[in-house]
Amino acid sequence: MATSNYSKELDIALLAVQRATLLTKSVFHSHAKGTLNKSDASPVTIGDFGAQALIISALQHNFPEDEIVAEEEAKDLRENTQLRDTVWKLVKDTVLPHEQSQSALGGPLPSADRMLDIIDKGDSKGGAKGRIWAIDPIDGTKGFLRGGQYAVCLALMVDGDVKVGVLGCPNLPVSDSEPLSENIGADATDEEGKGVLFSAVQGQGAHSRPMSTGKLAEGQSIHMSPLSNVSDATFCESVEAAHSSQGDAANIAKKLGITKPSVRMDSQAKYGSIARGAGDLYLRLPVRADYVEKIWDHAAGDLIVREAGGEVTDAEGNRLDFSHGRTLLKNKGVIAAPKSVHGKVIEVVKEVLGSKSKV
């Protein structure tokens, strides 16, 4: 059953992401990180399949009429029984020890066949009508594989507008005041003080809370840092040069007078980090004219930053438009910044990208 203030959607999304992150951590520590080739050449891990199965299972139990846009399909598991059995064991064994929370998610899946069917429920084409969830079971797969930053991402869009967003970042510090550094979360050691859930509901602000293994921890409000001088900014960008033009970002930073080195992180952990003021700017600049972003890579982070008082647009200054199917068809690049400086950043982004197009 849906709720008008999205309180149930938020609770289920938080619990579903928390449970899925337990599975991803289990995969990492068991070293069962087999990767498959996919048509877009990004590595896929058994954690991707398992996390997607757990999240869709929770959504189907609570909101059976909703559509789901997700990254993975079960074809590889149907063709590879060894891989299927590995994923099924992880899914079967991953439970929240808090009985009420586990029950709220619909309990465990009954069989491996049901798991395969559930994974394939993420085949919605997206669009501008109705309730559609977007899932990225492991965003930042390469970060995950090397023990760096990754995120389990879930967002609800209603008629193309993001209403609820949740990010589970197991390797980020819990503390909202810990500044970003280049090596943040480089080693997934499960020490105390790591693992944070970010969330937002449209019109209700953004929050962070420590990740737990059972019932949800208490959340607290988060806000973008009050930045009056853009030259003082810390900016985040992708680790992968294939995802964002690092040369353009360096030029933009130079023109803005930013002297601090960029912090390169995988995944939507960048959105969470700037939303709580640990960093200030997130630049994801087009690497080629035909590159189109996937909605699951941005939906949750976009809402969390905007609800924390930030501004998120494309490189032209237009809001990200999630109503055109499974991709951000109408947008190129992503610029997230505090409202106070976003206009200035866009000005310089246009200048740098515009000068390239004239060459």
Active site residues: 48, 141
Hey, what are 308's tokens?
A: 């924390």
3-state secondary structure 42-54: CCEEHHHHHHHHH
Give which of 266, 235, 264 is closest to 251, Cα–Cα: 235
- Measured between alpha carbons, how far is 152 from 170 in angstroms, rounded to an integer? 9
Longest dimension (CA), the chain: 62
Question: What are the angstrom distances between the C-alpha of 192 and each of 29, 174, 211, 273?
Answer: 16, 9, 11, 19
Contact indicator for 55, 13 with CB cutoff of 8 Å: no
Q: Which residue has the tokens 């982004």?
A: 349
> What φ, ψ does residue 110 adopt, rounded to 5°?
-80, -25
Contacts of 299 (CB under 8 A, 6+ apart): 134, 153, 155, 157, 162, 165, 322
Q: Are 190 and 157 in contact (CB under 8 A)?
A: no
Q: Tell me 218's DSSP state.
A: P
Q: What angle is formed at CA 87 by the lines to CA 82 and CA 93, rounded to 5 degrees?
A: 125
Instruction: Kindly calculate the radius of gyration of the chain based on its CA atoms and give it in whole angstroms.
Output: 19
Q: Which residue, 200, 122, 208, is CA-closest to 163?
A: 200
Question: Which residues are known binding-site members?
Answer: 71, 136, 138-139, 297
Element containing residue 133 per DSSP (H, E): strand 131-139
Query: 227, 234 in Cβ contact below 8 A?
Result: no
**Interatomic CA distance for residues 107 and 99, integer angstroms:** 9
Binding site for Mg(2+): what residues are annotated?
A: 71, 136, 138-139, 297
> Pairing state of beta strands 131-139 and 67-70?
parallel
Residue with tokens 């209603």: 158
